[in-house]
Structure 1
Amino acid sequence: MAPPLTPLLLFLLLLLLHQAAAFPPRHPDLQPLLDFKSSADKDNKLTDWVSTAAGAATNPCTWTGVSCFTNRRVFRLVLQNLNLQGSIHPLTSLTELRLLSLKSNNLSGPLPDFSTLSSLKLLFLSHNSFSGSIPVSLSSLTRLYRLDLSFNNLSSSLPVTAVNRLTHLLTLRLEENRFTGSISGLDIPTLQDFNVSGNSLSGEIPKTLSGFPQSAFSQNQLCGYSMGPCKGGYSDPTKPGSDNGAIASPLVPSGSVVSSSPSSLPTSATPTKNTNHDGGGGNKTSHISPLALVAIIVGDVLILAVVSLLLYCYFWRNYAAKMGRSGKGGGSKLMETEKIVYSSSPYPNQPGFERGRMVFFEGGKRFELEDLLRASAEMLGKGGFGTAYKAVLDDGSVVAVKRLKDANVGGAGKREFEQQMEVLGRLRHPNLVSFKAYYFAREEKLLVYDYMPNGSLFWLLHGNRGPGRTPLDWTTRLKIAAGAARGLAFIHNSCKALKLAHGNIKSTNILLDKSGNPRVSDFGLALFAPPPATSAPRSNGYRAPELSPSDARKPTQRSDVYSFGVLLLELLTGKCPSIGECGGGVVTVGGTVDLPRWVQSVVREEWTAEVFDLELMRYKDIEEEMVGLLQIALACTAQVPDQRPRMGHVVKMIEEIRGVEVSPCHEGLDSVSDSPCLSEDTCGAVSQ
């Protein structure tokens, strides 16, 4: 009978386990990184990129410029200004990469096949020596937000079809290369930052790119829009107004036709046929029959009657509305008065009157101040810094206009005002309301923004409570929290020198665009707040405890975090933190409004479920997520400012609640110098 094998098997199993512990599995991204260092790091700048003797125990997640997910896969690689050389082909094996920044090196050769990097969101390869064409495999990067290939030696024509498939692209920088051909088919509606200057491109600029400034197209053979009219575009004799390639006068409206000779007028077959009527060859005049004459007269009378009826209805409706408003309380009359003042010209021709001018930022559609004054205006609401209006221009475009209510703008002079506007105008992010233009004069200050058609978070949470109301579901609340956090974090990290703060975070300043995405508004206006002695307490439910109503100190990034924490509590509880903005559902502690203290007291008594909005109780399996967001809100509303997290960390914590997609500027939010998603000239000359 054979002896039992159990002890032998146990010994072998223990030996295998010991070997497995001694030699853990090799890091999946180790070899591609080592291959890249071997070929590219000739100066040995990456001194900590070394493999241990065992090899398998090496953890590249601790190396310079490398960041990993919890599953050990590399998602961020930032190696800038290290004089790296050669090809980047080994890096295409890092299949989980989200951010790749290798700018300001000496890398060369053709661009690799990008099809293995389908998760990439940020790609910065500027200021290198790459050559050849852009590979068609670029179209596989469907999640890409930023693409910067500027200052290289790339050539050939642009793969327009492949680039158009990058439907999330916000930045496309291709300047200072050797590209040829046309860009007429380029159509990426999401683009916010675009530049193809310093190439050999030719042809007409497409309408989809007409909003970008001349500097984005200079040093090419491009024409149209900001580059001036195309000379060859008017040579077609079949087009109205063309005369052997002559360029139409810019003083003539586009709908007019000015002829230099009778031959340029469009010919019609009908008059020629009438001149030969009755078979004669002379210039016989066609006669109008009596029946036709009667029909013309009757038609004219009917048209005149319809026009008169429409005018009567229009003026009667306005008169009735005005009479109805005049009979109401003083509040309605005040609102109507402001609307009338805005709609009429507030800039009288008086001695000593200062006439200002409209100042537009890059990419903004130009219009004159008079166009704004003629616009149909509807008041959207009043805030701490002024009154907001919806304005419909003559061409049908819609903008939001904020009229700063204090003539001295909190004592700020023109230079200080313009410097702050210059900084705010350069802030561009998917979760910020785009600041388009401003007007400054001693008597009037106007700020022009993109109009957000879906209202504010305040209305979604507190408006129309009761039967028939559609509650704000949990998924939407979490999406709004994450988006608002990204926008605020971007403001905080846009310019370290200025330490920008929002200064007025609240639910009425979180707006929703036409796609339902949250956008932070009214950022950077705290500088122009009226002095504390003359201003009424505003939004005190959101104010950080270190900023008392009579305190002249300006808001800080830490106080912004506190206000954002209150905003999260508002999302979770459905309760309003400020009596001045919401009559019902306000929490008071000791007779004062204090939503954070109330939540903390409930949590201390272990009644956490009592905190959450009853409208959220209908959803299943979200308790853990709500508690997670509650913990973030409580951390943000810590009484001591230094104990509050930075907004970059808040973004990460919110996105981790449900594994939310990494945002375009998620990586590096706490470090401006390491964050390629920030524009290098955001601070401009203001910080100098």
Structure 2
Amino acid sequence: MSALRRAFLNDNAFDAIPADFFDGLTDLLEISLGNNPRLNASNGGWALPDGLAASAQQLQVLSLDNCSLSGAVPPFLGTMNSLQNLTLSYNNLSGPIPDTFNASGIQRLWLNNQLGETKLSGTLDVIATMASLQELWLHGNQFAGPIPDAIAACKDLYTVRLNNNQLLGLVPPGLATLPELQELKLDNNNLLGPVPPVKVPNFTFSGNEFCASKPGDTCAPVVVALLQFLADVQYPTGLADTWSGNDPCAAGWTGVTCVQGKVTVLNLPDKGLNGTISPSLGNITTLLDVILGGNHLTGRVPDSLTNLDSLRKLDLSMNDLSGPLPTFKPSVQVDVSGNLNFNSMAAAPDAQPNNSPHSPATPNGAPGSHGSNAAIPGNVKKTSSSVLLGTTIPVAVSVVALVSVGAAFFCKKRASTPPQAASVVIHPRDSSDPDNLAKIVVATNDGSSGTSQGNTHSGSSSLAGDVHMIEAGNFVIAVQVLRGATKNFAKENVLGRGGFGVVYKGELHDGTMIAVKRMEAVAVSNKALDEFQAEIAVLTKVRHRNLVSILGYAIEGNERLLVYEYMPNGALSRHLFQWKQLGLEPLSLKKRLNIALDVARGMEYLHNLGHHRFIHRDLKSANILLGDDFRAKVSDFGLMKDAPDGNFSVATRLAGTFGYLAPEYAVTGKISTKADVFSFGVVLLELITGTTAIDDSRVGEGEETRHLAYWFCQIRKDEEKLRAAIDPTLDVTDDEIFDSISVIAELAGHCTAREPSQRPDMGHAVNVLVPMVEKWKPVKDEAEDYLGIDLHLPLLQMVKSWQDAEASMTDGSILSLEDSKGSIPARPAGFAESFTSADGR
């Protein structure tokens, strides 16, 4: 049988197929088993064996229509380079078309009319990459989402049947102009906008929500503008279902208000909108109010909105928008509060090593690490008693005198002013003594106080019911304390918004600034609660000065809050992309190198040096937070995942941010620590170019040039183009500066290599960056400016000020190399021999 080249077994009554049927058919070119509906039907059908791809590598035609195939479309079919015709119609297949079909050479793809209750589904995005397609039959399934614009690249298509699905949105113009197209069936979907001017012999389009009845007829201008807006926010459910027809005022479109037949208000707050704001809104000249707050919109505010002469109110608050903000008339009320890149962001300080296996747990479901058996008493009272936020400040022996003087001054000052109700006093602890947990002094409403140290509680009985100290420095905090600190979560205290919820700035009674991340009530889903629990669980396991750590959390009813230290300089992205609009100074090369090294050390710790190994999965400039000294910490651990042992990868659902995603993760969903290395490489490129990870205006050919990593790879070997690509605030006419940037560019290039095996480990990145930072560290006189310490500050801030000054003085804001304890990793196979680094350890 090994010499068998073609087998035609269709139109029979076979009821079983041997498990080894395809084994050894090495010369097989074509096989047809169509119209054998009884094959293994009594056992729920059958599936193609995975070994088919290896045994029949020359297979060109696979015809298996109506033969009881069940389950998902086998991913290996997309990897068979010789396969040209694939017919799997009238079976019981379900699920999406696998990503492995990306750029497949298949010419005929028939997946139509699946018979099960659950049919083939998902989007058609992968179809648009299959440039060799000639016949595409997907009708009679449950495919959803828009028809991708990129389908216009499939120039050889001559028959397309997409009828009887759940497709929505506008029909791409390019579909109507395919040169070979002879048949197009779009019936019975949820398609919107104009009927495309298709001039083919067989074109059907009934049963949709088009605004016109004839091909080529146009929609009303206001409908065109609103549908373009709908497309740019990715056709959310609830809007696409009601935005049909050619008159938004007569049809009652959700979120659209009309006066005398004119659209005057677009009111879509808290609708879960994703995507960008379409410039087309600027064409609706009758708009008075545009209210889009509380969504997940990204990108820039379109300049076209400034052309709306009647505009009174533009509410874009609580999104993920970035600058620059266009200039509106003084009469327009513009609200962009709560957008991370328009406001400073908050994050937490470093925590000390956790020497206990226990982690938080409460009767209300407070999250903790797996295996925790440290429980909180069940009679937690909802009172206004304040809870001290424990912090972990390492104090070296060499500054005992300084701390003693400060503490004496601090205590003397406090002695004359007894603690008030709901006041907070914070005492440092020595991280070198794991048994010396933070000392807590809490004043209750009746003026009594209690102290908690180590694993014991003392003081009034009320304290035991209201205040609980968790080992490893984490605290359950009364919600009342956080309401007071944030002025009841006032709008003016909003710092930003993320997928979890809203971040607020808070100030405790002693002046200590904190950041409070509050889960929105609408976000209390299983996914959001998982991320809330994951962030606490992770932060109890990882402690490093370049990773944010949690101070405490609060749970009361539906309230879920996380508390971090305030980071006054916010996200790195603000200082790279919006510094002009926000009135900030551009980052110097020295600061950029220090930031890169801080991030590298934090990620090296996550990957290799801690008690647990983690993959961050969402490293980006918006998740790198800067203190007042511009020291960087990696934040946002809600998506972090345990790393597998060795160099293996683990399959997981796709998470993260496009532009920073490693290719193998975006395509297959398989991830390893090398995916974080890719993201780090993109951050390095942002640091040296001052441009965003994705930019539609980037010059080049093809869609991929929007991606910074791909674009930079094309130009970095050309010195002239490299100089032109560097952030203009960095003086590349200085050869010393350019040489340093060139080294960083080469490191970034290796970190963003397409193959994971070609990327270095984070330890290697640390070793490359250490001598670079050492080269640009400040002279001693610069550091001495930091030694002035205000003894009137609270002790927490006073000790922190000393730490910052001491770090700057001793090594020019360079952390000790002892923070990175791993040896220099071996150079990966194929890694440039010319690319070396000094051993900084």
TM-score, length of structure 2 as denominator length: 0.36
Larger fraction in helix? 1
Bigger Cα Rg: 1
TM-score, length of structure 1 as denominator length: 0.43
